[in-house]
Amino acid sequence: MAAARHFIRTQSHQVPEQNRFALLQPELEINPKHPIIKKLNKLRESDTELAKLITKQLFANAMVGAGLAEDPRVLLTNMNELLTKALDKY
């Protein structure tokens, strides 16, 4: 997959985003026993906004880990929103 990711990165201006995902066919696997997922499940009932921000961040982290993140600024924007929301409680 590294070669395919490299091709997509170098040709990204010519390949629409949906086609990139269709070509690579990435899969997001979620471990329901992971402590983050367990806590996120509880959090979605008490603070849906924070749960959504965390979910977006987990997805962005997975995209970075897979080498599929195009713009790292999105990662920072999500992280800053998450931190702001988390710090609102203190």
CA 82 to chain centre: 13
pLDDT for 13 equals 60
pTM, 2 dp: 0.71
pLDDT for 35 equals 94
Q: Which 8-state DSSP code applies to residue 34?
A: S
pLDDT for 40 equals 94
pLDDT for 85 equals 87
Q: Which helix (H) or strand (E) covers residue 86, if one does? A: helix 72-87
Q: Which residues of the chain have pLDDT under 50?
A: none
pLDDT for 73 equals 79
pLDDT for 51 equals 93
Domains in the chain (CATH in brackets) are: 2-87 (1.20.120.790)
- Distance (Å, whole) CA 5 – CA 74: 19
